[in-house]
Amino acid sequence: MKSLGFNFSQVRALSGAGQQHGSVYWKKGSVQILKNASSKLPLHQSLKACFSVSNSPIWMDSSTASQCSALEKAVGGAQHLASITGSRAYERFTGNQIAKIYSQNPEVYMETERISLVSSFAASLFLGAYAPIDYSDGSGMNLLQIWKKVWSVSCLDACAPGLEEKLGCPVPSHSVLGPISPYYSQRYGFSPDCKIVAFTGDNPASLAGMRLQEGDIAISLGTSDTLFLWIQEPTPALEGHILCNPVDSQTYMALLCFKNGSLMRERIRDDCASGSWDEFSKALSSTVAGNNGNLGFYFDVMEITPEAVGIHRFNGDNQKVSDFPKEVEIRALIEGQFMAKRIHAEKLGYKVMPRTRILATGGASHNKKILQVLSDVFNAPVYTIDTANSACLGSAYRAIHGLIAEMNVSLADVVKLAPEPKLAVTPTAGAEEIYCPLLKRYAELEQKVVCNPASSCLAK
Ligand SMILES: Nc1ncnc2c1ncn2[C@@H]1O[C@H](COP(=O)(O)OP(=O)(O)O)[C@@H](O)[C@H]1O
Ligand SMILES: O=C(CO)[C@@H](O)[C@H](O)COP(=O)(O)O
């Protein structure tokens, strides 16, 4: 941006977002190095000795099953943990990741003075000091008591000793953390008055960028697929996550995460469409809604929602088949991914209503043929915003909001002049009649492919 001539001196506030759940481990004494970083050097040179863990765990890590069981046991069971933190124990959630580091490398843990999320890590760079974790991204750790918005002592104690001190106090997501560090004003020309507003997770930032309203459903088609809703009175359950709302601390956000998103679509695109999205889209156009009853489950890696792995194809008579013609495979993948989203959103209590709007974002939301299937499966119109990078736009909105949020101004008021989402596609006539019975079949077949203790996932 500097070499493009961007005028940093005009920036009044900035915020940002990071993939949720990942964690960064700062070595004892690092805060001084961060504070005193020389503006003559790039940050990576000044900070290279600051980290006690060199490979930070990210959300795709699922190696903490034993820590998850221990956490659920320590607090009185999976539902009880969900009632406290909004989610039962998940492998990628930061508390379980920290517990693993502590149990495998206690000396590394003891050497760590601060643990940041990806979001609060990035905020720390701009602040030149350790930035607090915001309530919304903090809800993805299995550590935050989401009702009182304080760390849960029983969860902290179950994960590692002395953890509260290493996490710092969580703050409302709209908090102004302080002015930008001298490093950034000297090196890039920011005004020393530029404010840093708490950073948050990518999905919470997307909720802000899409200006989600109650009743809307947001579907992000990025590396992972996620689905999120704005809710007033959540009931945390054994499936899905409840997070504090990033733009309104009194309300909540429900989130479902599907690990087999774009990477799965890319794999089928490479196998069945010569690696071309155009060819992939043509296959969707050349096949009929409902795929003549053929449907499939495509999980190259262990899925989060539902817990299942492997590729499972069924013909119209519910018989398992080993392959489909290429075009049928492509439609089965996309229909299957969207049917799963609708079924699991409905399990969370969401109902598709006549006024339902689906707001689509993420890389695959550029693809109209994919959006058409989404619209047909949900029988609802799909909208997109000009930029598919809603997490980035949401960070800009949140930065402006942070400057005046204390005056009780809502984010909706701050961004009311921003362009409205654009209608991308509407449901095809007759889609509801096709997908109603298919959704029922998909839900029944899903029961056959999910992992449960009585059956091996891989054997099916
Ligand atoms: N035309 C397209 N059709 C379908 N998927 C696409 C298309 N263009 C990009 N993508 C997908 O978008 C993904 C990236 O989405 P993005 O939202 O940037 O990811 P992230 O969640 O990592 O931020 C890529 O993995 C790619 O598969
Ligand atoms: O784990 C989750 C949400 O719970 C992921 O959605 C991550 O937040 C990162 O997503 P991508 O940006 O890689 O899709």
Residues 6+ apart with CB under 8 A from 413: none
Phi–psi pair at 298, nearest 5 degrees: -125, 100
pLDDT of residue 459: 31
Structure tokens at 59: 């959300």
pLDDT of residue 200: 98
What average pLDDT does the segment 284-293 reach? 97
What average pLDDT does the segment 130-140 reach? 98
> The pTM is what?
0.91
Please, what CATH class does the domain formed by 8-198 belong to? alpha beta
What average pLDDT does the segment 319-348 reach? 96
Select from 59, 117, 265, 392 the residue to mutate for testing ligand 2; criterion: most ligand atoms less than 8 Å from CB. Answer: 59
Structure tokens at 231: 């809710």
For ligand 1, the distance from its centroid to the CA atom of residue 357, given in whole angstroms, is: 22
Q: Provide the residue ranges of all domains of the chain, joining segments of one domain with +.
A: 8-198, 210-460
pLDDT of residue 455: 42
Whether pLDDT at 219 is above 90 = yes
For ligand 1, the distance from its centroid to the CA atom of residue 258, given in whole angstroms, is: 14
Q: What mean pLDDT value characterizes the chain?
A: 94
pLDDT of residue 126: 98
Closest protein CA for atom 18 of ligand 1: 363
For ligand 1, the distance from its centroid to the CA atom of residue 263, given in whole angstroms, is: 9
Is residue 424 within 8 A of residue 416, CB to CB? The reply is no
The yes-or-no answer to whether 8-198 and 210-460 have a common fold is yes
ipTM of the modeled complex: 0.95
Q: Give the model confidence (pLDDT) of 40-57 as tens digits.
A: 999 999 999 999 999 999
For ligand 1, the distance from its centroid to the CA atom of residue 446, given in whole angstroms, is: 26
- Ligand 2 pocket: which residues have CB below 6 Å? 19-21, 59, 92, 140, 201-203, 222-224, 226, 255, 257
Q: What sign for the dihedral angle of Cα 263, 90, 167, 194? A: positive
Closest protein CA for atom 27 of ligand 1: 262
In which band, very low, low, confident or very high, does the pLDDT at 203 lie, cut at 50, 70 and 90? Answer: very high
Segments in 182-274 forming alpha helices (H): 182-188, 202-209, 262-272
CATH number of 210-460: 3.30.420.40
Compute the distance between CA of residue 159 and CA of residue 162 in angstroms, rounded to an integer. 10
Whether pLDDT at 266 is above 90 = yes
Ligand 1 atom nearest the C-alpha of 220 is 17
For ligand 2, the distance from its centroid to the CA atom of residue 33, given in whole angstroms, is: 30
Ligand with minimal distance to 256 CA: 2
pLDDT of residue 389: 87
Count of all residues that appear for the chain in the document: 460
What's the DSSP call for residue 48?
T
Ligand with minimal distance to 119 CA: 2
